């Protein structure tokens, strides 16, 4: 048998979280055997007299660990102490990318939100040498430094938190941690330079996409299954990222870069909106798009502050490498780069339909709220003009059938008026026609 690799001794110690009844049953022997393999372990020696100093020491250890091992059992499920330790480890995972390994000692139910990069089942009363080898290998694996990529815990885990709150984590904590990470990284973003603007803008937007990918996945889940009576769950992250754009806008030289600083918030608003459409919860769009966010010129509603044409000029988008050359290149880019955020909940065709429908509804709301003055449209406009989309007809039929029970009207959009929807639809038809005639 090939021996498991030895972890790099230069790495910080591994934090082990466990319930006290499992110390003699498993944890002490487990830790000893890990140490025999050269793995430095941080253990609180049985939690005798857990006072403030011990609590501080535990969280200090978590703040500096490179990995965490969570020992789950029937004793652990109800442990408030372990829940707090897991929250701290989870924050490090999102912020710094540390590994979390879950060792499960029995078949007791797993608390909501508990997720790990490796799961290992161990029976303490049987030989668990093979499982130990797997854990050592997992600890020896290296990954690139920096925040963890796309998955927050996992789409299924976050969805379970949204649908059934309770457990070791709640959705608000997960999303706040993800937002903290995005905001911190956006504040560090530097100016991209002034030569070859299309190429540099292409790379700048790509960097923003990488930074916001984990949070976009979380907010897609929120839009899809989050409680419509708790809009702050998805509205607050959009507001916070908008607040980040204001100082970035002031710091970057040139109108192109000032505008592009709003792209991260635009992506997050799209993630929520498309998720809400896919989840048949379109009333969410009204609160999402009408919430006020800070800009350098004062507060504005999201539909205005995050109008796509305001963020990337369509003519410039046509000249960017790797883009389609379409007059709605930003719409295409958003559709393509947000797809990974939805893979866990939608098939490709359902995602494309939800994206198209969101952009159509967003355009209707823009025209209504802006008094018909204009809209950024989107890829759907060309498809409607070319008779390759039925989104406009489908929505017209729904409004005719449902009247004031149509979800957006029920949510207060369009002043609750069917006639106002008809006016916006007529304006949108005119804008689509004028764009391609």
3-state SS string over the chain? CCCCCCCCCCCCCEEEECCCCHHHHHHHHHHHHHHHCCCCEECCCCCCCCCHHHHHHHHHHHHHCCEEEEEECCCCCCCHHHHHHHHHHHHHHHHHCCEEEEEECCCCCCCCCCCCCEEEECCCCCCCHHHHHHHHHHHHCCCCCCCCCCCCCCHHHHHHHHHCCCCCCCHHHHHHHHHHHHHHHHHCCCCCCCCCHHHHHHHHHHHHHHHHHHHHHHHHHHHHHCCCCCCHHHHHHHHHHHHHHHHHHHHCCCHHHHHHCCHHHHHHHHHHHHHHHHCCCCCHHHHHHHCEEEECCEEEEHHHHCCHHHHCCHHHHHCCCCCCCCCCHHHHHHHHHHHHHHCCCCCHHHHHHHHHHHHHHHHHHHHHHCCCCCCCCCHHHHHHHCCCCCHHHHHHHHHHHHHHHCHHHHCCHHHHCHHHHHHHHHHHHHHHHHHHC
Question: How would residue 162 be classed by pLDDT, with cut points 50, 70 and 90?
Answer: low
Model confidence at 119, pLDDT cuts 50, 70, 90, reads confident
> How many CB atoms are located within 10 Å of the residue 156 CB?
12
Residue 140 is predicted with a pLDDT of: 83
In this prediction, residue 112 has a pLDDT band, given cuts at 50, 70 and 90, of: low
Q: How many angstroms from the chain centroid is the CA of residue 162? A: 13
Out of 123-127, 147-151, 251-255, which region has the weakest mean confidence (pLDDT)? 147-151
Q: Which pLDDT value is given to residue 124?
A: 95
pLDDT > 60? residue 338: yes
List the CATH code of the domain at 14-140. Answer: 3.40.50.10140
Q: What torsion do the CA atoms of 325, 331, 332, 338 make, to the nearest 10 degrees?
A: 150
> Average of pLDDT values for 4-11?
44
Q: Is the distance from CB of 244 to CB of 183 less than 8 angstroms?
A: yes
Residues in the chain: 437
Higher pLDDT pick, 12 / 388: 388
Characterise 224 by phi-psi region: left (phi > 0), alpha (psi -120 to 50), beta (else). Answer: alpha
Q: How many Å apart are CA 35 and CA 410, to the nearest integer?
A: 62
In degrees rounded to 5, what are phi and psi of residue 144?
A: -60, 145
Of 40, 16, 13, nearest to 28 by C-alpha is 16
Distance separating alpha carbons of residues 248 and 184, to the nearest angstrom: 12
Question: What are 387's two structure tokens?
Answer: 């008779």
Residue 146 has pLDDT above 80, yes or no: no
pLDDT grade, residue 228 (50/70/90)? confident
Half-sphere exposure for 76 (CA within 13 Å, toward CB): 31
Q: Residue 357 pLDDT > 70, yes or no?
A: yes
pLDDT-derived band at 109 (thresholds 50, 70, 90) equals confident
Q: Which of 86-95, 317-326, 390-399 ranks highest by mean pLDDT?
A: 390-399
Confidence of residue 167 (pLDDT cuts 50, 70, 90): low
Q: Tell me the average pLDDT of the chain.
A: 85
Q: How far is CA 421 from CA 366, 377, 405, in A?
A: 12, 16, 13
Residue 378 has pLDDT above 90, yes or no: yes
Instruction: pLDDT band for 83, please (50, 70, 90 cuts).
Output: confident
- pLDDT value at position 157? 55
Q: What is the Cα–Cα distance from 120 to 133, expressed in whole angstroms?
A: 11
Q: Which two tokens stand for residue 329?
A: 């290149």
Share of residues in the chain with pLDDT > 70 (%): 84
pLDDT value at residue 292 = 95
What is the pLDDT averaged over residues 89-110?
A: 84
Sorted by where each begins, the domain ranges of the chain are: 14-140, 155-436
Q: How far apart are CA 356 and CA 350, in angstroms?
A: 10
The separation between CA 77 and the C-alpha centre of its own chain, rounded to angstroms, equals 27
Q: What is the pTM of this model?
A: 0.79
Q: What are phi and psi of 119, to 5 degrees?
A: -115, 130
What is the Cα–Cα distance from 402 to 410, expressed in whole angstroms?
A: 10
Distance CA(190)–CA(96), nearest Å, equals 20
Distance CA 407, CA 405 (A): 6
pLDDT top residue among 310 and 94: 310
For residue 276, what pLDDT is reported? 97
Average pLDDT over residues 93-98: 78
Question: Above 90 in pLDDT, residue 129?
Answer: yes
Q: What is the mean pLDDT of residues 128-145?
A: 82
Q: Which of 16-20, 247-251, 317-321 has the highest mean pLDDT?
A: 16-20
Q: Are strands 298-301 and 292-295 parallel, antiparallel or unpaired?
A: antiparallel
Joined together, the tokens standing for residue 318 give 């046509």
Q: Which two tokens stand for residue 358?
A: 């969101």
Q: In angstroms, rounded to a whole number, what is the distance separating the alpha carbons of residues 187 and 22?
A: 43
Residue 154: pLDDT over 50: no
Is the pLDDT at 359 greater than 70, yes or no? yes
**CB atoms closer than 10 angstroms to residue 434:** 8
Predicted pLDDT of residue 105: 95
């Amino acid at each position: 048998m090939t021996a498991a690799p030895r972890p790099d001794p230069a790495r910080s110690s591994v934090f082990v979280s466990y319930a006290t009844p499992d110390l003699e049953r498993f944890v002490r022997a487990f830790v000893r055997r890990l140490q025999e393999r050269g793995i430095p372990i941080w253990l609180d020696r049985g939690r005798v007299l857990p006072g403030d100093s011990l609590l501080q020491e535990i969280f200090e250890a978590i703040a500096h660990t490179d990995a965490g091992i969570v020992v789950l059992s029937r004793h652990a499920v109800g442990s408030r102490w372990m829940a707090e330790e897991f929250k701290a480890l989870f924050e490090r995972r999102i912020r710094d990318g540390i590994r979390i390994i879950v060792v499960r000692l029995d078949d007791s139910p797993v608390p909501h939100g508990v997720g790990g990069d490796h799961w290992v089942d161990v029976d303490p009363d049987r030989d668990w040498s093979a499982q130990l080898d797997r854990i050592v290998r997992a600890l020896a694996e290296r990954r690139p430094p920096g925040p963890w990529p796309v998955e927050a815990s996992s789409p299924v885990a976050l969805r379970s938190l949204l649908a059934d709150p309770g457990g070791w984590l709640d959705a608000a904590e997960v999303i706040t941690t993800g937002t903290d990470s995005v905001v911190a990284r956006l504040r560090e973003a530097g100016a991209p330079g002034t030569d070859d603007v299309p190429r540099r803008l292409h790379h700048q937007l790509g960097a923003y996409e990488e930074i916001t990918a984990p949070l976009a996945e979380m907010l897609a889940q929120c839009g899809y299954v989050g409680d419509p009576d708790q809009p702050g769950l998805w509205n607050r992250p959009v507001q916070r990222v908008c607040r980040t754009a204001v100082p970035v806008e002031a710091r970057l030289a040139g109108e192109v870069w000032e505008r592009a600083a709003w792209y991260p918030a635009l992506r997050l608003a799209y993630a929520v909106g498309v998720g809400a459409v896919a989840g048949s919860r379109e009333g969410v769009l009204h609160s999402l798009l009408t919430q006020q966010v800070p800009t350098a010129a004062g507060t504005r509603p999201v539909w205005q502050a995050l109008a796509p044409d305001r963020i990337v000029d369509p003519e410039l988008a046509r000249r960017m490498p790797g883009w389609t050359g379409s007059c709605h290149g930003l719409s295409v880019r958003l559709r393509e780069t947000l797809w990974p955020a939805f893979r866990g909940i939608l098939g490709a065709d359902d995602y494309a339909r939800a994206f198209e429908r969101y952009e159509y509804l967003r355009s209707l709301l823009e025209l209504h709220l802006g008094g018909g003055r204009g809209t950024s449209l989107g890829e759907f406009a060309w498809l409607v003009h070319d008779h390759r989309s039925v989104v406009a007809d489908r929505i017209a039929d729904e409004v005719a059938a449902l009247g004031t029970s149509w979800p957006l009207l029920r949510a207060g959009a369009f002043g609750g008026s069917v006639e106002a929807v008809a006016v916006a639809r007529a304006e949108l038809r005119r804008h689509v026609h004028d764009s391609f005639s």
